[in-house]
């Protein structure tokens, strides 16, 4: 006999890769999902970076439960050895999957709040016996409330990019200079975007795969358009791991991104400035000058591309009792596995319901959002997360705790953290935060070899 809450659907927030995979696993377990997507189509966030090619192959981007749902429709999986763009992923997989789920997916439904029915976060009495209540703002401006037995938040982090400021806050003048600042990898196939950067001097701030991609794009543009140049700004120093694992990366396309960024610098298409933590953006006529916290000032640039990571929007979850790490804003049990302050291995132990549970039972953050501010998330990780959670919701604890995934290593591994250590910056760059701006033509040796964490 089911309780009144067990008869309710599981609400999944977001019709992206993790959200639709969650719905697929729930269907496989005979649990009714309801996917709420703020955008007008499946994978709305993915479509915004549709011009970017993924470094995972198709074989790593299709969830097994989702494939089972798609198979009877005549859907044919793309060549598993090829690399799709974001647009390919959305159009050839995510949208067909959402179409199969049918009325289990609602578009134009923005979740504005989640709580327990009749209980704010303070109230203990009968809390766990109450269903979840979800506030929705529909595309037509109407508001709605629905109830659910559980909530899986797969809304991602795309909507909340991190700012320029090295302290995590917007730099002084950042908002005023918004017209010259972008927080996305540029689509240089778009004539308007191409004109924005062609023949210009552009600062690229960041040290991950997105920054590598932007540098490679701008280097390619520089080959065709004289005067195009990138200035790569790193908050830390240069080391053997700066460009990723290279040929040692078990995802070859991911390793190639770092090598492309290195080539851009080695070939003079980009300069690298290390140990630079931006605190202000100043005007110099029509150009911008970046100022570091130690007073250093860079030569003026025409444009700035900020790729300093993403962060979760937790505002609509404020009435829930979440257990989050104070640094990463990731679930408390997951955080030690992904904390870049502690290790630099790309391999994260596959995890599920145990690491993703919160004091508020029945609510889970999955996919990119589960990582909080940590990087290196893979779609495969999200698929394993939701498989485990669906099993737990079905009462199959053995399956929930079983590991069914082996993740590829980055080829970057060591005891030091990857991010923003001023000491590491000083040791590696030979100057550090207090030196004059260091512009390097980098000739780093072979990429770091894979090791154990």
pLDDT tens, residue by residue, 67-94: 999 999 999 999 999 999 999 999 999 9
Cα-only R_g, the chain: 23
For residue 193, pLDDT beyond 70? yes
What is the structure's pLDDT at 342? 73
The HSE-up count of residue 32 (CA atoms within 13 Å, CB side) is 11
pLDDT: which is higher, 160 or 350: 160
Q: What is the pLDDT of residues 228-284, one digit of tens each?
A: 999 999 988 765 555 565 555 555 666 677 777 788 888 888 899 999 999 999 999
**Does residue 115 contact residue 360 with C-beta atoms inside 8 Å?**
no
What is the structure's pLDDT at 245? 56
Mean pLDDT score of the chain: 86
pLDDT: which is higher, 289 or 446: 289
DSSP 372: T
For residue 1, pLDDT beyond 60? no
What is the structure's pLDDT at 343? 56
What is the structure's pLDDT at 145? 98
**pLDDT cut 90: percent of the chain above it:** 72
Q: What is the pLDDT of residues 6-63, one digit of tens each?
A: 789 999 999 999 999 999 999 999 999 999 999 999 999 999 999 999 888 999 999 9
- In terms of Cβ atoms closer than 10 Å to its own Cβ (0-12, 13-18, 19+), residue 53 is middle
Q: Which residues contact 234 (CB under 8 A, 6 or more apart)?
A: 207, 242, 272, 273, 274, 275, 276, 425
pTM of the model: 0.86
The domain defined by 10-155+348-401 folds into: FAD/NAD(P)-binding domain (3.50.50)
pLDDT bucket at 431, cuts 50 / 70 / 90: very low
pLDDT bucket at 403, cuts 50 / 70 / 90: confident
For residue 384, pLDDT beyond 70? yes
Cα–Cα distance for residue pair 168/164, rounded to 1 Å: 7
**pLDDT cut 70: percent of the chain above it:** 83
Looking at the chain, the domain(s) classified CATH 3.50.50.60 span 10-155+348-401, 178-308+412-440
Cα–Cα distance for residue pair 285/299, rounded to 1 Å: 13
**Does residue 32 contact residue 104 with C-beta atoms inside 8 Å?**
yes
Q: Single out the residue of 263, 408, 310, 300 nearest to residue 350, CA to CA.
A: 408
Mean of pLDDT values over 189-205: 97
For residue 418, pLDDT beyond 80? no
What is the structure's pLDDT at 248? 55
What is the structure's pLDDT at 256? 72
Q: Tell me which of 11-15, 29-33, 119-123, 346-350 is least confident.
A: 346-350
For residue 387, pLDDT beyond 50? yes
Mean of pLDDT values over 97-107: 98
Mean of pLDDT values over 395-415: 70
The domain defined by 178-308+412-440 folds into: FAD/NAD(P)-binding domain (3.50.50)
Burial 206-218 (b: 16+ CB within 10 A, else e): bbbbbbbbbbbbb
pLDDT: which is higher, 405 or 242: 405
pLDDT bucket at 447, cuts 50 / 70 / 90: very low
Cα–Cα distance for residue pair 289/279, rounded to 1 Å: 11
For residue 118, pLDDT beyond 50? yes
Cα–Cα distance for residue pair 142/403, rounded to 1 Å: 43
**Does residue 404 contact residue 384 with C-beta atoms inside 8 Å?**
yes
Cα–Cα distance for residue pair 102/15, rounded to 1 Å: 12
What is the structure's pLDDT at 426? 31
pLDDT: which is higher, 142 or 54: 142
Mean of pLDDT values over 369-392: 93
């Amino acid at each position: 006999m089911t309780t009144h809450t067990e008869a309710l659907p599981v609400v999944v927030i977001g019709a992206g890769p993790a959200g639709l995979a969650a719905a697929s696993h729930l269907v496989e377990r005979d649990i009714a999902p309801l996917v709420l997507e703020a955008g007008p189509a499946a994978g709305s966030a993915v479509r915004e970076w549709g011009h970017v090619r993924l470094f995972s192959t198709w074989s790593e981007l299709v969830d097994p439960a989702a494939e089972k749902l798609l198979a009877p429709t005549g859907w044919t999986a793309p060549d598993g050895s090829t690399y799709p763009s974001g647009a390919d992923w959305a159009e050839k997989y995510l949208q067909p999957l959402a179409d199969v789920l049918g009325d289990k997916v609602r578009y134009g439904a923005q979740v504005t709040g989640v709580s327990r029915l009749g209980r704010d976060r303070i109230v203990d009495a009968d809390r766990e016996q109450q269903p979840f209540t979800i506030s929705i703002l529909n595309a037509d401006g109407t508001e709605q409330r629905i109830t659910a037995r559980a909530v899986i938040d797969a809304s991602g982090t795309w909507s909340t990019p991190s700012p320029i400021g090295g302290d995590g806050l917007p730099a002084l003048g950042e908002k005023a200079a918004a017209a010259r600042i972008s927080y996305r990898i540029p689509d240089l196939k778009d004539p308007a975007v191409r004109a924005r950067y062609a023949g210009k001097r552009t600062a690229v701030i960041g040290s991950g795969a997105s920054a590598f991609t932007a540098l490679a794009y701008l280097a390619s543009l520089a080959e065709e358009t004289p005067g195009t140049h990138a200035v790569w700004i790193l908050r830390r120093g240069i080391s053997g791991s700066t460009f990723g694992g290279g040929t040692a990366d078990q995802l070859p396309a991911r390793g190639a991104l770092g090598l492309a960024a290195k080539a851009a610098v080695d070939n003079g298409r980009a300069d690298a400035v290390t140990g630079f933590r931006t605190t202000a953006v100043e005007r110099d006529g029509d150009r911008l000058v970046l100022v570091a916290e130690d007073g250093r000032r860079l030569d003026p640039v025409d444009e700035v591309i900020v790729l300093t990571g993403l962060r979760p929007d937790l505002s609509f979850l404020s009435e829930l009792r979440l257990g989050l790490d104070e640094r990463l804003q990731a679930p408390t049990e997951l955080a030690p596995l992904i904390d870049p302050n502690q290790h630099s291995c790309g391999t994260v132990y596959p995890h599920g319901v145990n690491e993703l549970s919160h004091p508020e039972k029945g609510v889970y953050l999955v996919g990119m959002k589960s990582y909080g501010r940590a990087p290196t998330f893979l779609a495969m990780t999200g698929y394993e997360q939701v498989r485990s959670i669906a099993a737990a919701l079905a009462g199959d604890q053995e399956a929930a705790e079983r590991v069914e995934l082996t993740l590829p290593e980055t080829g970057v591994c060591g005891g030091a953290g990857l991010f923003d250590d001023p000491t590491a910056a000083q040791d590696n760059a030979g100057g550090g935060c207090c030196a004059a701006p260091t512009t390097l033509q980098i000739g780093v040796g072979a990429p770091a070899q894979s090791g154990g964490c």
